[in-house]
Amino acid sequence: MADQEQERARWNEKFRTGRDYKTAVNDWLARMVGDRAPGAALDLCTGQGRNAIYLAQRGWRVTAIDFSDEGLRLAREAALQHAVELELVQADLDDYALGSDRYDLVTMIYAGDEIHVVEHARDSLKRGGLFVLEYFSAESPAAAYAGGWKRGQLAALFGAGFAVVHDEEVDDVSDWGLDPDKLVRFAAVRL
């Protein structure tokens, strides 16, 4: 329990300082959902809510989950400022049930590299639902402290019943750290 509180305090401090992370929508997510009809969306590790706000402005009904009190406070303020509604949930994804067959879109933008979280997120998608992820590659310098995805690892988690739409490693500026890095961009659709 002490470790969990220390981790929450660490994230709260990151959001309080407001440094070293992008505050606008993730470019990869915006490209992937640009012309998609809105529905129910789940934004995992929403942080300050930048991606949830973007989706809500485009008509998505967004459930935004995060561990950080401070991140959710910022998300709540941003939702009020942009006059959009978000369902904000404070939860640890290790023990929060995402449900099944609930969402038309699930986003994991800089939301870690835990396989069980991806499996639960995958299972929460409706038929035709889209899963979108951007995070560090296992070959990234950031992987030493933040973890990362290996080539093909995500595609292996989206086997039968899914179509992998996009799976690549790119060299680009990361949303967290704001440094050039090796990133994984992945998307899959539930069949």
3-state secondary structure 145-183: HHCCECCCHHHHHCCCCEEEEEEEEEEEECCECCCEEEE
> For the chain, which domains are there?
2-14+23-190 (3.40.50.150)
Give the global pTM: 0.91
Helix 50-57 to helix 69-81 angle (10° resolution) is: 30
d(CA 53, CA 60): 9
In the chain, how long is the greatest CA-to-CA distance? 44
Q: Are 82 and 64 in contact (CB under 8 A)?
A: no
Q: Are 89 and 102 in contact (CB under 8 A)?
A: no
Its sign, for the CA torsion 58, 25, 52, 100, is positive
Output the tens digit of pLDDT for each of the chain's 191 residues. 567 777 766 665 666 676 676 778 999 999 999 889 999 999 999 988 999 999 999 999 999 999 888 889 989 999 999 999 999 999 888 888 999 999 999 999 999 999 999 999 999 999 999 999 999 999 988 887 788 999 999 999 999 899 999 999 999 998 877 788 999 999 999 99
d(CA 29, CA 21): 16
